[in-house]
């Protein structure tokens, strides 16, 4: 990962690079185009939602 100097809402950003299957990338690209946002925005949003749902599942497992 590579650090970026930019920060949003007090959170430092890091750059991540990944490879995706072409069909998955095309789906992400379509969502981005439809919603007039960047591909990066779609990926960040999906990751945040996934991690939030995992946190909820983890809490249930701890009980």
Q: Look at residue 47 and tell me if it is in a domain.
A: yes
Q: Look at residue 57 and tell me if it is in a domain.
A: yes
The whole-number pLDDT of residue 19 equals 98
Q: Look at residue 35 and tell me if it is in a domain.
A: yes
Contacts (Cβ under 8 Å, ≥6 apart) of 16: 1
Q: Look at residue 8 and tell me if it is in a domain.
A: no
The whole-number pLDDT of residue 1 equals 43
Q: Look at residue 11 and tell me if it is in a domain.
A: no
Query: Quick one: which of 15, 24, 61 has its CA closest to 46?
Result: 24
Q: Look at residue 5 and tell me if it is in a domain.
A: no
- The tally of domains found in the chain comes to 1
Ordered per-residue pLDDT tens for the chain, 63 residues: 444 455 556 789 999 999 999 999 999 999 999 999 999 999 999 999 999 998 777 676 776
The whole domain housing 47 covers 19-62
- Read off the pTM: 0.71
């Amino acid at each position: 990962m590579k650090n970026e100097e930019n920060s949003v809402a007090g959170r430092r950003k890091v750059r991540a690079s990944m490879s995706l299957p072409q069909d998955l990338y095309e789906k992400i690209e379509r969502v981005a185009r439809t919603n007039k946002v960047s591909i990066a925005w779609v990926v960040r949003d999906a990751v945040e939602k996934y991690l939030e749902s995992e946190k909820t599942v983890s809490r249930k497992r701890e009980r």
